[in-house]
């Protein structure tokens, strides 16, 4: 049995999930972004206490690594690394875009394109197939009417996440489906257990948030 603490502070709503072999044991969330730092440690203690689980029983910490809010990513990763160092357990890092795609994978389309709102007409994006195989790696994108045009020629694509409305405002295509599909630490837990089984652990000394910079407007 693998007991994991899953932390997601990448976006506006922060959440923590305690899981056993990928099954949720407990969950807490906070939608006040400015309070994430103060809320997180209290939430972790409360969650562990509710389930009568000591920190020494945790097998690993999983965290959403980005892209997303610069401050939020630092808060989550700092807390996760601190716990891993203190407890001597591994750190699992999962891309935020992959978590969003995983939350939306039960749909009727060929591909999934999670979009995270950045600023102005900018988003963070990636493209995955239904098995969550990465088709287009995470990138910073200025959305236009031509965004993802090549992929849309032969694929129905679900555009999801909190940045989908930006693309929807400029893109009209019969193969484009738009849906919010928010993701939480519970969705992170589903991926984290797979990383645990595959022993895909981060290097505590060198791991940094995945910020993804340099916005551009490609034709995919």
What residues form DSSP beta bridges with 123?
117, 141
User: In angstroms, rounded to a whole number, what is the distance separating the alpha carbons of residues 220 and 217?
Assistant: 9
- Rounded Cα distance, 137 and 219, in Å: 14
Here the tokens at position 169 are: 């405002």
Residue 6's beta-bridge partner residues?
A: 17, 62
The class of domain 103-178 in CATH terms is: alpha beta
Strand order through the sheet with 134-142? 134-142, 122-129, 111-117, 157-160, 176-178
Query: Are the beta carbons of 22 and 188 closer than 8 angstroms?
Result: no
**Which one, of 8, 6, 10, 9, lies nearest residue 116 by Cα?**
10
Per-residue model confidence (pLDDT) at position 36: 87
Segments of the chain scoring below 70 in pLDDT: 33, 214-220
Q: What is the pLDDT of residue 220?
A: 46
Give Cα separations from 196 to 92, 96, 212 (angstroms): 7, 17, 25
- CATH homologous superfamily of 3-96+183-197: ATPase, nucleotide binding domain (3.30.420.40)
Structure confidence by residue, pLDDT tens digits, 97-129: 999 999 999 888 999 999 999 988 999 999 999
What is the per-residue pLDDT for 33?
A: 67
What are the residue ranges spanned by the domains of the chain?
Answer: 3-96+183-197, 103-178
For the chain, give the DSSP string. Answer: --EEEEEE-SSSSEEEEEEETTEEEEEEEE--GGGHHHHHHHHHHHHHHHTT--GGG--EEEEE--SS-HHHHHHHHHHHHHHHHHHT--EEEE-HHHHHHHHT-SSSSSEEEEEEE-STTEEEEEEEETT--EEEEEEEEE--TTTTHHHHHH--EEEESTTHHHHHTT---TTEEE------HHHHHHHHHHHHHTT----TTT---------B----
CB distance 157 to 166 below 8 Å:
no
How many Å from the N-terminal Cα to the C-terminal Cα in the chain?
42
Same fold, 3-96+183-197 and 103-178: yes
């Amino acid at each position: 049995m693998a007991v994991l603490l899953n932390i997601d502070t990448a976006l506006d709503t922060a959440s923590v999930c305690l899981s056993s072999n990928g099954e949720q044991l407990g969950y807490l969330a906070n939608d006040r972004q400015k309070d994430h730092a103060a809320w997180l440690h209290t939430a972790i203690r409360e969650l562990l206490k509710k389930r009568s689980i000591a920190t020494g029983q945790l097998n690993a910490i999983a965290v959403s690594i980005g892209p997303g809010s610069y401050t939020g990513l630092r808060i989550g990763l700092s807390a996760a690394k601190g716990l891993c160092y203190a407890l001597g357990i591994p750190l699992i890092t999962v891309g935020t875009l992959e978590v969003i795609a995983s939350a939306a994978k039960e749909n009727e389309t060929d591909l999934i394109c999670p979009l995270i709102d950045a600023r102005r007409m900018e988003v963070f994006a990636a493209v995955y197939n239904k098995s969550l195989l990465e088709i287009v790696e995470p990138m910073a994108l200025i959305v236009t009417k031509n965004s993802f045009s090549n992929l849309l020629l032969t694929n129905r694509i679900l555009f999801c996440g909190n940045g989908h409305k930006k693309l929807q405002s400029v893109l009209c295509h019969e193969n484009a489906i738009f849906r919010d599909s928010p993701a939480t630490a519970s969705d992170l837990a589903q991926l984290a257990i797979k990383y645990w089984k595959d022993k895909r652990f981060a290097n505590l000394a060198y791991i940094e948030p995945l910020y993804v910079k340099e916005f551009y407007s490609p034709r995919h």
